[in-house]
Amino acid sequence: MSGDPKLIAEGDEAILYVNEKKSWLVRIEGGKKFHTHRGLVDLEGLIGKPYGTEVRTTLGSTLRVIPSDYLDHLERIMRRTQVIYPKDTALITMLANVKPGSRVVECGTGSGALTSYLATHVAPTGRVYTYEVREEFQANARKNLEKLRLTPYVEMKLKDITTGIDETEVDAVVLDMATPWMIIDKVKGALRMGGRVVSFSPTINQVEKTVEALNAAGFVNVKALELIMRTYKVKYNETRPDMVMVGHTGYIVSARRY
């Protein structure tokens, strides 16, 4: 790779951008061509050129080359399980007060989408301990984390968390499981004083049971919420909400250990 981050180097992963609806994530390699329905792109010919370069395909289409980042990779990870929407992922991470150096327990790993976002926040000195009971899910998540280069900040555990949490004095516990209320006592034992727990559930019945369990265990600042996001079509004299929106995705419950 080039020492200049402004220049495209061999081995870089870059975005070939057409518009907001179409782009490709590619690895820049010598002797390689990238095939698209808009024509071929000579990837070797991009080496040494500045990011922002416009390139024409063999069919005359114009693409722009921009550096890739975490979100570009996240959109393309292999999903064998339903992943939490980005709007919920971001709020969960904030409510759990995850920051560089934090030690966070997560259950379950799934495809590793939330795991990866937590890992970007605990880096470079923190750790995410993620529990998963399905070996095939864990294997898929490991591949995704490797692609995102986040494995140094994650410890993966093939274990049923209902049998116990190995870690103690952690800063946060994040739950994405069917029965979070069943392990609240174990969550309390794993958290440091003042540490935070955040749980994501798709149904209100799960929320009721989780809140009851948190209150019974003596947690404070117990809150439940739902985050609705609406996007807009923006055009001069035609701006309006998009006809299709992401409505209910799930409920978030948060609390602090006392």
Please state the three-class secondary structure of 59-79 as a single string.
CCCEEEEEECCHHHHHCCCCC
Q: How far apart are the first and last CA of the chain?
A: 49
Tell me which residue range forms the domain holding 52: 13-68
Give me the pLDDT at residue 81, please. Answer: 65
42 and 119 housed in the same domain: no
Residue 8 included in any domain: no
The model's confidence at residue 72, banded by pLDDT at 50, 70 and 90, is confident
Strands (E), 28-169: 33-36, 39-42, 54-56, 62-67, 103-107, 127-132, 154-158
Domain boundary among 68, 98, 113: 68
Confidence band (pLDDT; 50, 70, 90) for 187? very high
Q: Using CA atoms, how far apart are residues 26 and 55, in angstroms rounded to an integer?
A: 14
Tokens of 112: 């590793």
Measured CA to CA, the distance from residue 11 to residue 28 in angstroms comes to 5
Q: What is the pLDDT of residue 78?
A: 65
User: Domain check: are 224 and 104 in the same one?
Assistant: yes
Mean local confidence (pLDDT), 165-174 = 98
Digit-coded pLDDT (tens) for 128-149: 999 999 999 999 999 999 989 9
Do 64 and 102 have their domain in common? no
Any domain includes 139: yes
Low-confidence winner among 77-86, 182-191, 204-213, 224-233 (lowest mean pLDDT): 77-86
> Does one domain contain both 89 and 192?
yes
Same domain, 36 and 128: no
Question: What sections of 148-183 are H helices per DSSP?
Answer: none
Q: Identify residue 29 by its one-letter amino acid code.
A: E
Do 79 and 116 lie in one domain? The reply is: yes
Please tell me the pTM assigned to this model.
0.85
The helix (H) or strand (E) run that includes residue 88 is helix 86-95
CA distance 37 to 24: 12
Same domain, 104 and 80: yes
In-domain check, residue 21: yes
Average pLDDT, the chain: 93
Q: Kindly tell me if the per-residue pLDDT of 83 is higher than 80.
A: no
Question: 60 with 127, same domain?
Answer: no
Q: Is the model's pLDDT at 2 over the cut of 90?
A: no
Tell me, yes or no, whether 81 and 55 share the same domain. Answer: no
Question: What pLDDT band is residue 246 in, cutting at 50, 70 and 90?
Answer: confident
Q: Is residue 241 in a domain?
A: yes
Q: Is residue 2 part of a domain?
A: no
Q: Of 25, 43, 68, at which residue does a domain stop? A: 68
What's residue 80's pLDDT? 62
Q: Do 22 and 146 fall into the same domain?
A: no
pLDDT at 201: 97
Are 39 and 88 found together in one domain? no
The whole-angstrom separation of Cα 123 and Cα 110 is 21
36 and 154 part of one domain: no
Number of domains within the chain: 2
- With beta carbons less than 8 A apart as the criterion, state whether 57 and 63 touch: yes
What CATH number is given to the structural domain containing 242?
3.40.50.150
For the stretch 5-37, pLDDT in tens is 789 999 999 999 998 888 999 999 988 999 988
